[in-house]
Amino acid sequence: MKRTLIGSALCALLLAGCGQGSSDNKEASGGKKMKIGVTMLSMQNEFIVKVSDEIEKKAQEMGVELIVVDAERSALKQVEQVESFIAQKVDAIIMNPCEVEASSPAVTKALAAKIPIVNVNSETSAAPTAFVGSDDVESARIAMNYIAEKLGGKGNILMMHGYMGQAAQIKREQGAREILQKNPNLKLLAHQTAEWDRAKAMSLMENWIQSYGANVNAVFAQNDEMGMGAVNALTAAGMKDKVIVVSIDAIPDALQAVKKGTLNATVFQNAQQQGANALETAVKIVKGEKFEKQTLIPFQLVTKENVETFLK
């Protein structure tokens, strides 16, 4: 399911009920309700929407007001959104960075304005006040080790990249190449970005089928949207039974595909914990409480054998 985009001016003002936590947060914000600005990479990406939803859910529980905006994959727009948060004098900022380098000025500007900033899910080269996410290198190691095992360490692989320059793309490529180096009989036939997008991945896979045909043994897609696009193209070409496809995130569509056996495996990334911990960390910082500078939430391999656990 994709959420309809409301545009860069999207504002979700969550006026939560008041409890003890809400009172504490008001005190930490000088008697006003704590206000946190949230800028997300893209609300067209199902996993990112889930992270955003969990931030909003936790904010309602804690009596925090949020301003949520969609960067629409533009690092420039994201920096401008953070500048707007600074002008609105928010108590803290949560950022899901578009790019490692191009989103970094947002971190620098927030810290210069003495506003704490928590990066969630993805990283910047500039160090934020705190980071909440997962080790993307490890997610690719898990996916590629599964492929290596299923192919007996020998075969031809294609890799679909995410949005180039984003931390997840860089680190998932790093993890994949580590496993390729350890398995010299696995050959990377081609690799190209499909920008985390299902339709673009399907088109890319159709081109690869024309170029490589029966020589393809497996596809590693750096997220489920692209993995589902690869599955659709391979199924339409009558090749899916002969090609292993593994991706990352464990979105509902991918879990159903794993259950049906069309997607061989996915790697579960915990959107609930990433979103909730990011909000909790931001609130702790504003209140002057102890907080973890870096919170890494583990990935888990999902196959047909254990998929029911993740569908619950």
Give per-residue pLDDT as tens, 222-274.
999 999 999 999 999 999 999 999 999 999 999 999 999 999 999 999 999 99
Q: Are 110 and 116 in contact (CB under 8 A)?
A: yes
User: How confident is the model at residue 45, as a pLDDT?
Assistant: 85
Structure tokens at 290: 């102890």
Percent of the chain scoring above 70 in pLDDT: 90
The structure tokens 């997962």 sit at 134
User: How confident is the model at residue 272, as a pLDDT?
Assistant: 95
Instruction: Report pLDDT digits (tens) over 179-204.
Output: 999 999 999 999 999 999 999 999 99
User: How confident is the model at residue 29, as a pLDDT?
Assistant: 61
Confidence at 175, pLDDT banded by 50, 70, 90: very high
Cα distances (Å, whole numbers) of residue 58 to 51, 62, 108, 285, 304:
11, 6, 26, 16, 31
User: How confident is the model at residue 24, as a pLDDT?
Assistant: 60
Structure tokens at 153: 């360490």
Question: How many angstroms separate the CA atoms of 83 and 55, rounded?
Answer: 21
Angle at 195 between CA 49 and CA 217, to 5 degrees: 110
Q: What amino acid is encoded at 100 in this protein?
A: V
The closest alpha carbon to 263, from 184, 177, 198, belongs to 198
151, with CB counted inside 10 A (0-12, 13-18, 19+), is: middle
Question: Residue-wise over 23-51: b if at least 16 C-beta within 10 A, else e?
Answer: ebbbebbeeeebbbbbbbbbbbbbbbbbb
Structure tokens at 36: 């946190």
Which helix (H) or strand (E) segment is 194 a member of?
none
User: How confident is the model at residue 21, as a pLDDT?
Assistant: 52
Confidence at 25, pLDDT banded by 50, 70, 90: low
The closest alpha carbon to 132, from 269, 311, 309, belongs to 269
Question: How many angstroms separate the CA atoms of 192 and 298, rounded?
Answer: 27
Structure tokens at 215: 């020589």
Question: How many angstroms separate the CA atoms of 299 and 272, rounded?
Answer: 13
Which helix (H) or strand (E) segment is 270 a member of?
none
Q: How many CA atoms lie within 13 A of 280 on its CB side?
A: 16
Mean pLDDT for all residues in the chain: 91
User: How confident is the model at residue 28, as a pLDDT?
Assistant: 60
